[in-house]
Amino acid sequence: MSETSSSKQSGYDVAIAYRVYPGVSKTPFIHRTDKRALAELGVASLRRSLGHVRAKVWAILDGCPDDYEQMMLRYFDAADLVILRSTAKSNAVTFSMQIDLLLEQTDADIVYFAEDDYLYRADSFAPMLDILRERTDIDFATPYDHLDYYTHPVHPPTARILTHGETYWRTATSTCLTFATRKATLRETQHVFRTFIQNNYDTSIWFALCKSTVWNPFMFLRSGMDILWLAKTFVKAWLFTPAQLLFGRRRTLVAPMPSIATHAEITGIAPAVDWQRVVEETERYIAAKRV
């Protein structure tokens, strides 16, 4: 049975590998010292974002207390959820687990990598699946309209603006490790993503896949104080993925405008969305679930 026919029979629209760690990284704009509360806000907002999208979810609980499992079951039916416990306590190891899970599953042709410190707008997830189903020229979609796209010189001002359905999208040169793609595309590019466990940067991985930035020497002249970071990113891209840079297919990554989700880091909140309102709506949803 082919992957497509198998996934259609399963009834799932997307396969999600969701990794959760109980520690707080960086500085979130809410619940700065309470990862349990931040994690539940993220899970609950993702559930609201899915709307009528049917998702099969693998939750990788990396060193999490037992109550995290009940937290996941509060928002996803047991029939649609697989709990996996890990003691790796490592972003790289659990990201590699996500790749393995999403390539091995036969429930959906579109796969989604999720991290636990993202906040999602309600009923906003479906357009990300639609553009991947209907636009074969798009390889990856991030839910996150990074603030960096507008403020950091590493992102060229020549992004293409696309309209698909009622959603606007922009082409991008990089994102984090929360993104959607087709299972077939993941299989073709897994060797690039797997360099993350070898200490490659996520930015270097995206630069290698999308190519536009890494071939532009003038980027160093525009980078200012970030020139050392940019140099390290370029070096890692060439060190870990030379074959992709020289011979690999240029991949297309798109980001939605306005953002479907935001990373919780206070310095990188996606623009043009009232995220405090999203927090308040999600907290009311959480409270109702606990009744």
Q: What is the pLDDT of residue 117?
A: 95
Q: What's the CATH code of the domain at 144?
A: 3.90.550
Give pLDDT, residue 159.
Answer: 87
Overall number of domains in the chain = 1
Instruction: Extract the residue ranges of the chain whose pLDDT is less than 50.
Output: 1-7
How much is the pLDDT for 5? 44
- Closest alpha carbon to 39 in 60, 53, 13, 16: 60
- Amino acid 129: pLDDT: 98
* Element spanning 254, H or E: strand 253-257
Which residue stretches of 126-241 are H helix?
126-134, 148-151, 183-193, 202-210, 219-222, 227-240
> Residue 219 and residue 227: Cα distance in Å, rounded?
9
pLDDT (0 to 100) of residue 165:
87
- Contact at 8 Å (CB) between 118 and 25? no
Give the tens place of pLDDT for each residue, 139-180: 999 999 999 999 887 787 778 999 998 899 999 999 999 999
Print the domain residue range for 141: 3-290
Cβ–Cβ contacts within 10 Å for residue 264, how many?
26
Q: Which two tokens stand for residue 2?
A: 């082919």
